Amino acid sequence: MKILIAAIGKAKSSPQLQLYQDYIKRIPWKVECKEFDTKIADTTQRKAKEAELLLNACAGYEYIIALDESGELLSSREFSNHLAKWQQQGASSFAFVIGGADGLDASLLKKAKLVWSFGRVTWPHMLVRGMLAEQLYRAHSVISGHPYHRD
């Protein structure tokens, strides 16, 4: 399986980056992270430009999964089941998008196969990368029958 994490903001050395790296190295799937930054002051224009950058990065991936507070609340098992089902249907590449401080543009959300929320609270987008990496590792363990995940 091929995974892209396309994110707004550049990760710098931090505990959040270390968390992300710790889980990514456990995942046997090919995982790539592409980071983007824009310096546009107007929020509407910035979100539109971010959406364009993120969608261009996702070109060629079969499914886009957007991480957004307005998305579906899924348990780890439910998320794993989505991935397993999509794999069984023949999908092998997934792009996960993480927006900036102002969230994701509606144009990007419309193109997503799934809009997924990590809860109704606001998470720092650098921490979301680590949380996503952990959920991807957990999904792999569920799909492969590894005992990491316990219901």
Q: Distance between alpha carbon 81 and the CA centroid of its chain, in Å?
A: 16
Percent of the chain with pLDDT over 90: 85
| C-alpha–C-alpha distance, residues 138 and 147, integer Å | 10
Average pLDDT score, the chain = 94
User: Quick check: helix, strand or coil at residue 27?
Assistant: coil
Whole-prediction pTM: 0.94
Query: For the segment 115-136, what is each residue's pLDDT rounded down to a tens digit?
Result: 999 998 888 888 999 999 999 9
Query: For the segment 31-79, what is each residue's pLDDT rounded down to a tens digit?
Result: 999 999 999 999 999 999 999 999 999 999 999 999 999 999 999 999 9
Q: Which residue has the higher pLDDT, 105 or 14?
A: 105
| Residues in a beta bridge with 103 | 100
Nearest to 45 by CA among 123, 100, 120, 113: 100
The pLDDT value given to residue 121: 87
The pLDDT value given to residue 127: 92
Q: Which two tokens stand for residue 8?
A: 């707004």
Q: Which residues of 49-85 are buried (b: 16+ CB within 10 A; e: fewer)?
A: bbbebbbebbeebebbbbbbeebeebeeeebbebbee
The pLDDT value given to residue 109: 97
- pLDDT-derived band at 151, boundaries 50, 70, 90: low
Domains of the chain from N-terminus onward: 2-144 (3.40.1280.10)
What single letter denotes the amino acid at residue 105?
A: D
The pLDDT value given to residue 54: 98
